[in-house]
Amino acid sequence: MATVKFTFEDKSIAPVTVENVPADTSILEVTEENDIHLNHNCGGVCACSTCHVYVEKGEEFLEEISDKEMDFVDRAINPRLESRLGCQCIILEDEAVIEVQIPDQSRIIGHEH
């Protein structure tokens, strides 16, 4: 089972490590199942940019970014080279170790869990 380590741009939130994550799970699903705040207005169908995250480590364990996802990442607040949409980051391997930083959610108007 995979391990996903979450850090937060908002330093008042302590890091969270989630273990035993099965392959074929998205980063958005991991946040939902573990009470980690990540906005997601479109319900996880790659139709907005509110579940924008930074994949700091383990990109090779995730599905490749699609052209559609790239278009929405470009619309996110402060996109960087390691920007992805949590709904599109599908974990490919059970032995994956992935590190994700969640941007400051206070600047995003959207649905939370």
Q: Which residue from 3, 5, 21 is spatially nearest to 53, judged by alpha carbons?
A: 5
Task: Identify the band that residue 54 occupies on the pLDDT scale cut at 50, 70 and 90.
Answer: very high
> What is the span of the domain harbouring residue 74?
2-107
pLDDT digits (tens, 9 = 90+) for 18-30: 999 999 999 999 9
Q: Total structural domains in the chain?
A: 1
User: Considering the domain boundaries, does residue 34 fall inside one?
Assistant: yes
CATH number at residue 79: 3.10.20.30
Q: Is the whole model's pTM more than 0.85, yes or no?
A: yes
Q: What pLDDT is attached to residue 21? A: 97
Could you tell me which of 13, 27, 103, 34 has the C-alpha nearest to residue 58? 27
